[in-house]
Amino acid sequence: MKTNIGLGTKMIHAGAEPDPCTGAIMTPIYQTSTYVQESPGKHKGYEYARSQNPTRFALERAVAEIENGKYGLVFSSGVAATDAVIKLLKPGDEVIAAADMYGGTYRLFSKVFQKFGIIFHYVNMQDAAAIKPFINKNTRLIWTETPTNPLMNVTDIEAVANIAKAHNILLCVDNTFASPYLQNPLDFGADIVMHSATKYLGGHSDVIQGCLIVNDDKLRDDLYFIQKSCGAVPGPQDCFLVLRGIKTLHVRMQRHCENGEQVAHYLRSNDKVQHVYWCGFEDHPGYAVAKKQMRGFGGMMSFTLKDDSIATANKVLSSTKIFSLAESLGGVESLINHPASMTHASIPREERLKNGLTDSLIRLSVGIEDAKDLIADLAQAIG
Per-residue pLDDT tens over the stretch 52-91: 999 999 999 999 999 999 999 999 999 999 999 999 999 9
Q: Band of the pLDDT at 303, cuts 50, 70, 90?
A: very high
pLDDT of residue 349: 77
Could you tell me what percent of the chain has a pLDDT over 90? 88
Strands 362-365 and 300-305: antiparallel
pLDDT score, position 351: 76
Q: What pLDDT, on a 0 to 100 scale, did the predictor assign at position 295?
A: 98
The answer, yes or no, to whether residue 46 has pLDDT greater than 80, is: yes
Q: Identify which of 14-28, 228-242, 337-351 has the greatest average pLDDT.
A: 228-242
Count of positions (residues) in the chain? 383
Q: Which of 10, 61, 199, 247 is catalytic?
A: 199
The reported pLDDT for the residue numbered 343 is: 67
Mean pLDDT in residue range 182-194? 98
Apex 237 CA angle, 235 and 240, nearest 5: 115
pLDDT in tens, 20-33: 889 999 999 999 99
Task: Determine whether 277 is an active site residue.
Answer: no
Mean pLDDT along residues 168-187: 98
Counting Cβ atoms within 10 Å, is residue 32 exposed (0-12), middle (13-18) or buried (19+)? middle
Of the candidate ranges 7-11, 75-79, 343-347, the one whose mean pLDDT is the lowest: 343-347
Q: Is it the case that residue 122 has pLDDT exceeding 90?
A: yes
Tell me which of 121-135, 303-317, 351-365 is least confident: 351-365
pLDDT band at residue 309 using 50, 70 and 90 as cut-offs: confident
Q: For the chain, how many helices (H) and strands (E)? A: 13, 12
Which residue of the set 83, 100, 156, 174 is catalytic? 174
pLDDT at 347: 72
Q: Point out the catalytic residue in the list 50, 70, 295, 354.
A: 50
Highest mean pLDDT among 148-152, 160-164, 311-315: 160-164
What are the residues facing 273 on neighbouring strands? Answer: 305
**For the chain, where are the E strands, in sequence order?**
71-75, 94-98, 119-123, 139-145, 170-174, 192-196, 210-214, 273-277, 300-305, 324-325, 335-337, 362-365
If you average pLDDT over every residue of the chain, what do you get? 95
Q: What is the pLDDT of residue 257?
A: 98
Q: What is the pLDDT of residue 358?
A: 75
- Per-residue pLDDT band at 1 (split at 50, 70, 90): low
At residue 41, the pLDDT reads 84
∠ CA 81-86-90, nearest 5°, is 150
Reply yes or no on whether 106 is catalytic: no
Has 191 been annotated as catalytic?
no
Q: For the packed helices 249-269 and 371-382, what is the interaxial angle rounded to 10 degrees?
A: 40
Burial track 106-122 (b if 16+ CB lie within 10 A, e otherwise): bebbbeebeeeebbbbb
Q: Which of 102, 106, 181, 277 is catalytic?
A: 102
Q: Annotated catalytic, 10?
A: no
Q: How far apart are CA 271 and CA 305, in angstroms?
A: 9
DSSP state at residue 39: B
**Residue 342: predicted pLDDT:** 72
| Statement: residue 125 has pLDDT above 90 | yes
Instruction: Identify the residue with better confidence: 341 or 191.
Output: 191
What pLDDT sits at residue 2?
54
